[in-house]
A and B are shown apart, each in its own frame.
Chain A
Amino acid sequence: MNPAEAAAAEQSKGTLRVVQLYPRDMNIYGDWGNALVLQRRIAWHGYTPELLEYNVGDPFPENVDIIVGGGGQDSGQLVIQDDLQARAGVLTDLAENGTPMLLICGLYQLFGRFFKTRTGAVIPGIGVLDVETHGGDERLIGNVKVATSEFGEVLGYENHSGQTTLGSGVRPLGTTAKGTGNNSNDGHEGARYRNIVASYLHGSLLPKNPAIADFLIRTAAERRFGSFTPGTPDDSFAVLAREHAARRPR
């Protein structure tokens, strides 16, 4: 630790531990950006970030404050499938206890009940989220705008062929104003359950949607320390990037 870091640690409001799920096999379309944004914003809010990776076969970290998981290709999903089932217990406990989680695309699907492929094969999920996904013929690709009550307008980019339907145990993240979202019929995108935010959106999601990042951080800080005192991140580039992105074609 250099003197500046030591001073920062001295004044830190405390350490928050972020665990990235399966970054080796489930990290596509810049999902790393979500982990980076959490890491930086935790520091900008005056806390000390600790970013850990969890890959297939690793011991599962203790004292997890935030979980972030990304999308993958079909091959990546096959690689993690058994390990994810073996970790279903600990992940379910964390979710039910209110640990904030961000689950994008592939891990959104696998935290659901199952994924049924077009050929009829059923890949079991871990059932944390009351959702099911069916492989579709059409690939849903393009810019997405979602109206949400919690986070305002959410902007991102979707690229999936899975059609996800929500059960009664979860609510959608929001309503799509541009793009498809969960499936071709319902006009909504993503899922909310306890402190989990699940979404199909890449982009990466968090950089242009700092409200979601700050929700995860605030929730984590309140759970760990009983309260959250925010810092003052400079979001002027995020505001302008949102303005320009919102005007781009599908």
Chain B
Amino acid sequence: MPLLGYIQNMVFFSVPLGKLVRRVSRLRGGGSALPGLVVEKIDPGFMRRTLTKLPHGVAVVSGTNGKTTTTKMVVELLESQGLKVFTNRTGSNFTRGVAAALLGEVDWRGKLDADVAVLELDEAHAVHFVNSVPPRYCLLLNVLRDQLDRFGEIDKTAQLLQHIAANTTGTVVLNREDPRVARIADTLTGQEVKYFGLDESLLGTFPNDDDLRAAPGSPAPANLPEKPRADVVLRKVGADSAEFEYDGGTVTTAMKLRGVYNIFNAAAALTLARSICGAGAATADHETLLQALSQVAPAFGRGESLTVEGQPLDLVLVKNPSGFRLGLKSFPAAGYATMIAINDNYADGRDMSWLWDVEFDSLRDGGVDVLTGSRAYDMALRLQYDDVRVGAVEPEIAPALAAFIREGQGKPKRIFCTYTAMLAIRRELSKITTVEVVS
């Protein structure tokens, strides 16, 4: 049977071939997905075979906001417990990116030296992924208005997350405070469900999309009738600390992460890490777990602070209205020079409507010094309607950034930027300071 033999040979060679393509495409300085594509085409079973052999299986992290930082936290928490973790660190959160990352880690026979895989997956791609590799765990963070021009409607995005949960074989971790996510529990039958949650006192700092324009006092639609108990609750957020409640007690820990939404995601990461450790031989050691949590630094662009000419420069990634509002709330403008960079490339979302769902009153006192990006003038127009003073508008990112650094001499700086604008800014910054450049 020549045909079968041919296919078997291809499968046998798929890993070495993929690794070779990976090396070649690295030499070319190119993207990360091509080698994944090669393996996916000639050996579609590669990922499933490799990942399902892991002792703790696969955990998928998905949702609109916070996937990258949360995944990073889960990885570091699990590593603190002595587990070897495979993850898709390059931020290539598509199935092909996972395959490409896998190729970098497996040996030439296709064996992966890890106890567990923790994967960040874009909602739409996660659906394809779980169809071929059913995860043992999933962590679903939130459903917010993000790039609705790509997914269609917010309810559809919730359905994508529901599909991920339904294909999970073990434990599903859900955000108790996001009704669209919490309600996924009603549709599940076999899985164990765990929640992470917020103390009442913090709920107001997390308006969800349904509350965006709701009149004062009007009920949020379709909230859960009664809140289920959460495995981990975020109770308080201090300047550089946070208080969590679990196992019936409360504990305060120092935090390097900034921004209340990052810290809420720490509750999510703790819940998932506790599930994974609890399921294995050893349950989690909480002292080392909290120690690891306190050391987690934000993922690139997620409230990360660089130093430029002796002054801090914060990069805050903004992708959707709720993320932008939380960013403005978490990082007050007073004392800072501010720049906003808005691109409308495919990865940013082409629709500018979302800017009109963010209120910019908090920037009124200090104004915004520089606006840049392909939609800099859309942003200028938006700020005009919120009575926010605009300094310079320069759609080209390189000269805009140079002007911002020059004019803001001696002042701490902050840049709110969309995804591709952030990549461009990092490339420029890498010429003058140390910064991790992600392609």
In the assembled complex, which residues on chain B have CB atoms less than 8 Å from the CB atom of A53?
A: 215
Within A150-197, the residues touching B (CB, 8 Å) are 157, 159
Within B321-362, the residues touching A (CB, 8 Å) are 321, 344, 350-357
A248 to B153, CA, bound (A): 23
Distance from A137 Cβ to chain B, minimum over Cβ atoms (Å): 13
Question: Does A145 interact with chain B (Cβ within 8 Å)?
Answer: no
In the assembled complex, which residues on chain B have CB atoms less than 8 Å from the CB atom of A241?
A: 375, 377-378, 380-381
Question: Does B212 interact with chain A (Cβ within 8 Å)?
Answer: yes
In the complex, the answer to whether B148 meets A74 with C-beta atoms within 8 Å is: no
B135-164, CB under 8 A of A: which get 1 and which 0?
A: 000000000010011001111000000000
Within A215-248, the residues touching B (CB, 8 Å) are 234, 237-238, 240-241, 243-245, 248
Of A27, A29, A142, A240, which one neighbours B377 at CB under 8 angstroms?
A: A240
In the complex, the answer to whether B350 meets A143 with C-beta atoms within 8 Å is: yes
In the complex, the answer to whether B351 meets A157 with C-beta atoms within 8 Å is: yes
In the complex, the answer to whether B352 meets A23 with C-beta atoms within 8 Å is: no
Within B266-284, the residues touching A (CB, 8 Å) are none
A236 to B148, CA, bound (A): 29
In the complex, the answer to whether A30 meets B344 with C-beta atoms within 8 Å is: no
Query: Is the interface on chain B under 10, 10 to 19, 20 to 34, or 35 or more residues?
Result: 35 or more
In the complex, the answer to whether B380 meets A240 with C-beta atoms within 8 Å is: yes
Question: Does B250 interact with chain A (Cβ within 8 Å)?
Answer: no
Question: Does B366 interact with chain A (Cβ within 8 Å)?
Answer: no
In the complex, the answer to whether A157 meets B353 with C-beta atoms within 8 Å is: yes
B349-392, CB under 8 A of A: which get 1 and which 0?
A: 01111111100000000000000001111101110110000100
In the assembled complex, which residues on chain A have CB atoms less than 8 Å from the CB atom of B395?
A: 244
In the complex, the answer to whether A79 meets B221 with C-beta atoms within 8 Å is: yes
Max chain B Cβ within 10 angstroms of own Cβ: one of A73, A141, A142, A207: A207
Which A residues have a C-beta under 8 Å from some C-beta of B? 23-25, 27-33, 36-37, 40, 53, 55, 73-75, 79, 139, 141-143, 157, 159, 202-204, 207-208, 234, 237-238, 240-241, 243-245, 248-249
- Jot down 30 A-B pairs with beta carbons below 8 A, ordered by A: A24-B213, A24-B218, A28-B153, A29-B148, A30-B321, A30-B354, A30-B357, A31-B356, A32-B356, A33-B353, A33-B356, A36-B356, A53-B215, A73-B155, A74-B153, A141-B149, A157-B351, A157-B353, A159-B148, A202-B351, A203-B352, A204-B356, A207-B385, A237-B393, A240-B377, A244-B374, A245-B352, A248-B350, A248-B374, A249-B350
Which B residues have a C-beta under 8 Å from some C-beta of A? 145, 148-149, 152-155, 212-215, 218, 221, 321, 344, 350-357, 374-378, 380-382, 384-385, 390, 393, 395
